[in-house]
Structure 1
Amino acid sequence: MFGYLQIQKSELLVREAEAYKAVYCGLCRQMGKDYSGLTRFTLSYDCTFYAMFLMSLNRSCKGFKDGRCTCNPLKKCKFATDEGDAYGKAAAFSMISVYYKIIDDIQDGGFFKKLLCRIIKPFFSHQRKKAADKYPDMDKAVSDMMNMQYDAEHSENPSVDMSAHPTALMLATLFSAEAHDEIQKRVLYEFGYQLGRWIYLVDAADDLKKDIESNGFNPFVNKKTGEVKSADFIAAVLNQSLARAYDAYNLMNFTDFKGILDNMMLLGFPASQNRVTSKLDTEVNNE
């Protein structure tokens, strides 16, 4: 994914920071176990959030255990235990997402990026196949998202909503699949949709200057006229999606990791957004 689903570490309690790290380390270990040690380099904050969210939703974490870092055996660390499949799904999602990102970069990247992606593609193609065999619905959701995204970005003049829809729908599909009843399914769908929409659009805002300079696609730039949306418009769109995601989040009764998830929703995600939007006025000449 994109790396925007982060904690605000300075505002976490010490035990919460340790618990977050224990989930991060647990997912790192799972990725090495299920796929390859090299795949640990693709570990992201986004997939850590996904694993923690699933563990909290299903109350599948039954404690922590001491161990040694799989990347540095001399270093002691704690691992959050998971009696469900949160780690497995988060690790698979990482592999599937990385593979399709490589495919996207081969299609739209520069010469050197394309060359690098072609070199590493066979390795991640194998890892993605293993992940898809375990979670075919997840692979289909991401594959469908990539196809829809291509169609949207190559249409005559896609709107912001049209451009963000594929990523939003993909996360809505993944989150709603975890529901225990119909009401929860509707809440998880809305949460996933708005969070996915926000992720896509905050990434687009982050890439705005680069896309303008390279004449690449960006939903905040009109393909016909080249007009760039104002910084205020971009901030308002992002605020709307994040607020609606938080509204859906509040309808879920979390107990495990609640302090960490609250920190991310109320502080971490807005901080990621602010880092992006604070530079828009100076980087883009808005009319």
Structure 2
Amino acid sequence: MLGYVIPDKGELKMREYEVYSAYYCGICKSIGRRYGQLPRFTLSYDFVFLAVLLAALEQEKDDITAEHCIIHPIKKKPISVENRAIEYAGDVMLILAYYKLMDDYYDDHSYKAKAAAIGLLPTIQKIRVKKKELCNLTEENLKLLSDLEKDKCSEIDRVEEPFAQIMLEIFKNGVQKIEKNESLIKLLAHIGYHLGKWIYLMDAYEDVEENITKKTYNPLLYRFEYGQTKESIQEFKERIKPIVEFNLIHYLAEISNAADLLDIKKNKGIIENIIYFGLRRRTEQVLESNIENTENDEEEEK
């Protein structure tokens, strides 16, 4: 479901891309230091945005060093020294990865997913000590989502809701409790909620052909009654595209409206790039069925 929240690299300044990459490597280093090497394989670019955004709300300057890593043992890479935002982003990424793997096992009897989840279990047990409520909420909402999918729910808003609630809590809980800034918490919750809905709908539209071929659930197939006529898969996607696009653009507008009200203290260019260029570019790619494996391309360049 993830892999969509990335910048438009071509629009980033060189220094901004260096900082963005440093946060990515910082999350990886943080996970390795605290939980060992295996959990580092769950690393996703989506949570770099979360780390950069949360860190941008605080006054402290970025502390970036040059270090070696397992993947790049010869050439040193810029790495952001661990801070609260980086640690938090790493933890919630692992939470989501673990419960998604368990959900895949229960739904599809994927023993590969179960094996990966077992490998992450010691890490999740450590994280639960600090973030029990978030772990429980993630597990409960993914279970609710699974039940809706089993019932072949055709109400798109209803199916989007569980993942939107997970993302809402992830973003909302990223603020230090001692701040008690209710307006900031509401803005972050608004961003997380609509980002969750955007991710779910993006994933659903991108997977239409695969779900039809494999005869697996997709809310768009039930909402727009695929198979009632002799239309092709491409004709079906073109028929529903205007409505899907309207909703996706609406979610992006809600995200950008809330982000505009945040008091960004640093790395504003990176945040604006992701929100105004990266998310929109990925939307256009998915709608046009011209999907580029951007995450893998960027990883190869590192």
Letter in 2 for 1:263: N
What's the offset of the Cα at 1:12? 0.7
Which SS does the other structure have where 1:169 is aligned?
helix
Residue 165 of structure 2 is aligned with which of 166, 169, 194?
Answer: 169
User: What do the CA deviations read for 1:2-39 (whole angstroms, capped 9, x no partner)?
Assistant: 01001111111111011111111111101111212122
Letter in 2 for 1:116: K
Q: TM-score, normalised by structure 2?
A: 0.85
What's the offset of the Cα at 1:57? 2.0
Conservation of the 8 A alpha-carbon contact between 1:29 and 1:70: no
Conservation of the 8 A alpha-carbon contact between 1:202 and 1:273: yes
- Structure 1 unmatched ranges of 5 or more: 281-287
Instruction: Please tell me whether residue 117 in structure 1 is matched to residue 129 in structure 2.
Output: no
Conservation of the 8 A alpha-carbon contact between 1:171 and 1:196: yes
Query: How many residues end up aligned between the 2 structures?
Result: 276
What's the offset of the Cα at 1:63? 2.4
Conservation of the 8 A alpha-carbon contact between 2:66 and 2:78: yes
**Whole-angstrom CA distance in 2 between matches of 1:134 and 1:157:** 35
**Whole-angstrom CA distance in 2 between matches of 1:120 and 1:63:** 33
Which SS does the other structure have where 2:16 is aligned?
helix
Letter in 2 for 1:265: I
**Whole-angstrom CA distance in 1 between matches of 2:257 and 2:66:** 36
- Structure 2 unmatched ranges of 5 or more: 228-235, 291-302
Which SS does the other structure have where 1:78 is aligned?
strand
Q: Which residue number corresponds to residue 260 of structure 1?
A: 270
Which SS does the other structure have where 2:140 is aligned?
helix
**Whole-angstrom CA distance in 2 between matches of 1:232 and 1:223:** 14
Question: 1:83-232 maps to which residues of 2 (within 5 A)?
Answer: 83=83, 85-109=84-108, 114-155=110-151, 157-179=153-175, 180=179, 181-222=181-222, 225-226=225-226, 230-232=240-242
Which SS does the other structure have where 1:221 is aligned?
helix
**Whole-angstrom CA distance in 2 between matches of 1:186 and 1:104:** 29
What's the offset of the Cα at 1:107? 2.6
Letter in 1 for 2:273: N
Conservation of the 8 A alpha-carbon contact between 1:157 and 1:224: no
**Whole-angstrom CA distance in 1 between matches of 2:271 and 2:114:** 37
Letter in 2 for 1:24: Y
Conservation of the 8 A alpha-carbon contact between 1:62 and 1:82: no
**Whole-angstrom CA distance in 2 between matches of 1:120 and 1:66:** 31
What's the offset of the Cα at 1:68? 1.6
Conservation of the 8 A alpha-carbon contact between 2:85 and 2:174: no
Instruction: Please tell me whether residue 234 in structure 1 is matched to residue 244 in structure 2.
Output: yes
Which SS does the other structure have where 2:220 is aligned?
coil
What's the offset of the Cα at 1:226? 3.6
Q: Which residue number corresponds to residue 284 of structure 1?
A: none
**Whole-angstrom CA distance in 2 between matches of 1:225 and 1:61:** 52
Q: Which residue number corresponds to residue 299 of structure 2?
A: none
**Whole-angstrom CA distance in 2 between matches of 1:59 and 1:212:** 49
**Whole-angstrom CA distance in 2 between matches of 1:2 and 1:61:** 29
Residue identity over aligned pairs, in percent, reads 28
**Whole-angstrom CA distance in 1 between matches of 2:107 and 2:61:** 40
Q: TM-score, normalised by structure 1?
A: 0.89
What's the offset of the Cα at 1:134? 2.5
Which SS does the other structure have where 1:195 is aligned?
helix
Letter in 1 for 2:66: D
Which SS does the other structure have where 1:66 is aligned?
strand
Assess, with a 3 A threshold, how the Cα gap between structure 1 residues 207 and 95 changes in structure 2: closer, same or farther.
same
Q: Name the stretch that deviates more: 230-239 or 219-228.
A: 219-228
Which SS does the other structure have where 2:66 is aligned?
strand
What's the offset of the Cα at 1:156? 5.7
Letter in 1 for 2:211: D
Conservation of the 8 A alpha-carbon contact between 1:55 and 1:82: no
What's the offset of the Cα at 1:225? 4.3
User: RCO greater where, 1 or 2, for CA within 8 Å and sep 6 or more?
Assistant: 2
